Structure 1
Amino acid sequence: MSDLDNAPEATDATDTTDSRVASAAPASEDQRSSHRVLTMAGGCFWCLDAVYRRIRGVTSVESGYTGSDWPNPTYESVCSGRTGHAEAVRVGFDESVVGADLILDLFFTGHDPTTLNRQGHDVGTQYRSALFPADAADQELYRSAIRRNQENWADPIVTTIEPLGTWYPAEDFHQDFYSNRPDVGYCHVIITPKLAKVRQRYSEWLVEPSENVGLS
């Protein structure tokens, strides 16, 4: 992804929340109790973004940067590798429809968790495999998922569990990239095969984003 010629040059932003956070009607108590958010990094965020937007029960997907104290990261600075951030996705989902275990099994299917700081030709700490717990329950959930999914990989899983820290939404250009930029070669060569792998294992869970009624 880092060699994409037509990606726009990132610009500094002192406020990362104003135009990137969508307002929504207040959720009911039942909706809040069944809603959960997990933050995960597994290579280029375009890939996991494309996977989760096609899963029934997912209510929101946002690509962004986390895993570092460096303030106000941009795509350009993160791709340089000097900020320490990971390209990540924040996935909201309705646990009455899809469970957290499945969300994490999809994570371990949608990227290679056995390669350190690398996914294919995308190399650097910004492409690391990492999970970011919001609380102790998330941390135990992540540990369990790593143990469970190790059975599917011959090599050791190198996914790290790291402090969540500040979440910075990525620039609008990167949100739902696969759907919005189907002409880009990276989508055909990298993302489409990942989706095919997910579809092979979890076909009953996949829907097109336009048909994913809960997705905001």
Structure 2
Amino acid sequence: MAEAILAGGCFWCTEAVFGQLAGVSKVESGYIGGPGVAPTYKQVCTGTTGHAEAIRVTYDPATISYADLLDVFFVTHNPTQLNRQGGDVGTQYRSAVFLVDGTERAEIEAAIVRAKADHAEPIVTTIEGPAPWWPAEDYHQEYWQGEGQRNSYCMAVIPPKLAKLRKGFAERLKG
């Protein structure tokens, strides 16, 4: 198994997308990229900790490649918005890919080049890390499968992302 750490806005939204992919065994919401230790949701939401809301994806590279995960990432969020995704504004919502072991940089750079072909505006996604990972509080995990489907924000944001996923990556979805 391998890991990828992706920040593409609200972690509830990215977690919902990546949990649908064949070969993905776990998606964990959390915080990464800031200097503090064990940040909380309340702290990260202030935008002052330097952390990003992110997901840590555990996947089987024999089933889905890192490049495929990156392509899904770039299609299902807007990598041209600096420090925001839609109505979520602040550095905690930045578009970033975090290095896990430092060997991924070339693949991330290649994915950014592929993503540029789909956008008129410049890609602002950063390559960061490696950095300490802090799991989000339990109530954030698998949010879409529970509370998220009763949350008006999630109902407005997540279904369009899932539609993009189904349209562009139907062959990569779980059963």
Distance in 2 (alpha carbons) for counterparts of 1:200 and 1:152: 15
Q: 1:198: how far off?
A: 1.1
What is the match of residue 167 of structure 1? Answer: 133
Decide whether the 8 Å contact of 1:139 with 1:161 is kept in 2.
yes
Letter in 2 for 1:200: K
Distance in 1 (alpha carbons) for counterparts of 2:19 and 2:12: 11
Letter in 1 for 2:91: T
Distance in 2 (alpha carbons) for counterparts of 1:175 and 1:85: 18
User: Tell me, what secondary structure is at the counterpart of 1:49?
Assistant: helix
Decide whether the 8 Å contact of 1:65 with 1:167 is kept in 2.
yes
What is the match of residue 53 of structure 1? Answer: 19
1:39 aligns with 2:24: no
What is the match of residue 179 of structure 1? Answer: 145
Encode CA deviations 1:147-192: one digit per residue, 9 max, x unaligned: 1211111111000011131100000111111111111111210111
- When the two chains are superposed, the root-mean-square deviation of aligned CA atoms in Å is 1.0
Which of 89, 96, 119 does residue 123 from structure 1 map onto?
Answer: 89
Instruction: Provide the aligned length of Structure 1 versus Structure 2.
Output: 174
Distance in 2 (alpha carbons) for counterparts of 1:83 and 1:96: 36
Distance in 2 (alpha carbons) for counterparts of 1:124 and 1:172: 23
Q: Please identify, of 60-69 and 135-144, the stretch whose mean Cα deviation from structure 2 is larger.
A: 135-144
Distance in 2 (alpha carbons) for counterparts of 1:131 and 1:164: 10
Distance in 1 (alpha carbons) for counterparts of 2:102 and 2:91: 25
Encode CA deviations 1:1-51: one digit per residue, 9 max, x unaligned: xxxxxxxxxxxxxxxxxxxxxxxxxxxxxxxxxx21011100000111001
User: Tell me, what secondary structure is at the counterpart of 1:137?
Assistant: coil
What is the match of residue 173 of structure 2? Answer: 206
So what's the TM-score if we normalise by structure 2?
Answer: 0.96
1:96 aligns with 2:30: no
Greater fraction strand: 2
Letter in 2 for 1:69: P
- Segments of structure 1 that go 5 or more residues without pairing to the other structure are 1-34, 212-216
What is the match of residue 192 of structure 1? Answer: 159
Decide whether the 8 Å contact of 1:63 with 1:90 is kept in 2.
yes
User: Tell me, what secondary structure is at the counterpart of 1:112?
Assistant: coil
Q: Higher Cα Rg: structure 1 or 2?
A: 1
Letter in 2 for 1:145: A
Distance in 2 (alpha carbons) for counterparts of 1:110 and 1:160: 16
Decide whether the 8 Å contact of 1:38 with 1:92 is kept in 2.
yes
Q: Which runs of 4+ in 1 moved over 3 A?
A: none
Percent identity over paired residues: 48
Distance in 2 (alpha carbons) for counterparts of 1:123 and 1:54: 26
Q: Please identify, of 102-111 and 196-205, the stretch whose mean Cα deviation from structure 2 is larger.
A: 196-205
What is the match of residue 87 of structure 1? Answer: 53
